[in-house]
């Protein structure tokens, strides 16, 4: 377990040392929060849906956790390129421990990023319906982080160079975000879009965050927890399998 702790600590320290990167990573969530939260707020309110800032803030937090966690897994490509991955894999420790340490470290970093974005949302005017909801929201953030850090490990273990990175962004990560209901309600969608949102694991994470923070849930908090927990187990198993087959 010492290996798990060392790799977890490495990921967290690497994140905390990159202060310009932390500030830069807040740019995209801030853009969605301010431009759409305030820009589309009057339209959303006229449609009888309430305050759009309250609605979109959990989606922006989920977006921050998604991008940070999945990029931590794709960071395997950088470690492969600069030789750190080879040094790690030749160590006399099980690869499963290496994979768990990296995944938990990436998930922790994603949670820190999500908490930072949630703090910015609070400054911008977002108000959760009660402090008692915060622990449940943190649990959903942790589940989202684990799910997509494990998915990032699967992707990073499969790709061999950075050329496939843009394909992953365009054809996987962005659709996961836009189909999750982070920016629009999941009720009364066209059938094809409704099916896509039901298949998107992030939909359950965003829905769970909304249920925890503002008391609005489409699927139900219990369903969100069950689905995210099941997906996390599946992705961790796939990540462990893919990581065990890495060839250096």
Q: Which one has a higher pLDDT value, 25 or 148? A: 148
- List pLDDT tens digits, range 219-233: 999 999 999 999 999
Confidence of residue 46 (pLDDT cuts 50, 70, 90): low
What is the average pLDDT value for the chain, to the nearest integer? Answer: 83
Q: Which one has a higher pLDDT value, 3 or 107? A: 107
- Give the per-residue pLDDT at 45: 66
Q: What is the mean pLDDT of residues 133-156?
A: 90
What is the SS3 assignment for the chain? CHHHHHHHHHHHHHHHHCHHHHHHHCHHHHHHHHHHHHHCHHHHHHCCCCCHHHHHHHHHHHHHHHHHHHHHHHCHHHHHHHCHHHHHHCCCCCHHHHHHHHHHHHHHHHHHHHHHHHHHHHHHCCCCCCHHHHHHHHHHHHHHHHHHHHHHHHHHHHCCCHHHHHHHHHHHHHHHHHCCCCCCCCCCCCHHHHHHHHHCHHHHHHHHHHHHHCCCCCCCHHHHHHHHHHHHHHHHHHHHHHHHCCCC
């Amino acid at each position: 377990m010492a290996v798990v702790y060392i790799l977890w600590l490495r990921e967290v320290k690497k994140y905390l040392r990159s202060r310009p990167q932390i500030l830069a990573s807040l740019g995209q969530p801030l853009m969605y929060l301010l431009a759409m939260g305030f820009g589309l707020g009057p339209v959303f309110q006229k449609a009888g849906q309430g305050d759009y800032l309250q609605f979109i803030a959990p989606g922006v937090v989920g977006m921050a956790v998604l991008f940070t966690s999945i990029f931590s897994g794709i960071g395997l490509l950088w470690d492969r390129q600069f030789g750190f991955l080879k040094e790690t894999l030749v160590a006399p420790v099980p690869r499963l421990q290496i994979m768990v340490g990296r995944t938990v470290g990436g998930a922790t970093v994603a949670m820190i990023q999500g908490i930072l974005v949630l703090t910015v949302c609070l400054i911008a005017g977002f108000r959760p319906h009660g402090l008692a909801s915060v622990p449940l929201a943190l649990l959903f953030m942790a589940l989202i982080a684990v799910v997509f850090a494990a998915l990032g490990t699967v992707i990073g273990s499969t790709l061999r160079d950075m050329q496939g990175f843009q394909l992953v962004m365009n054809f996987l990560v962005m659709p996961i975000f836009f189909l999750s209901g982070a920016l629009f309600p999941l009720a009364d969608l066209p059938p094809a879009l409704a099916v896509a949102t039901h298949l998107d694991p992030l939909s359950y994470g965003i829905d769970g965050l909304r249920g925890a923070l503002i008391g609005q849930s489409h699927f139900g908090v219990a369903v969100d927890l069950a689905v995210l927990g099941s997906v996390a187990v599946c992705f961790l198993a796939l990540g462990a399998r893919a990581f065990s087959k890495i060839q250096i």
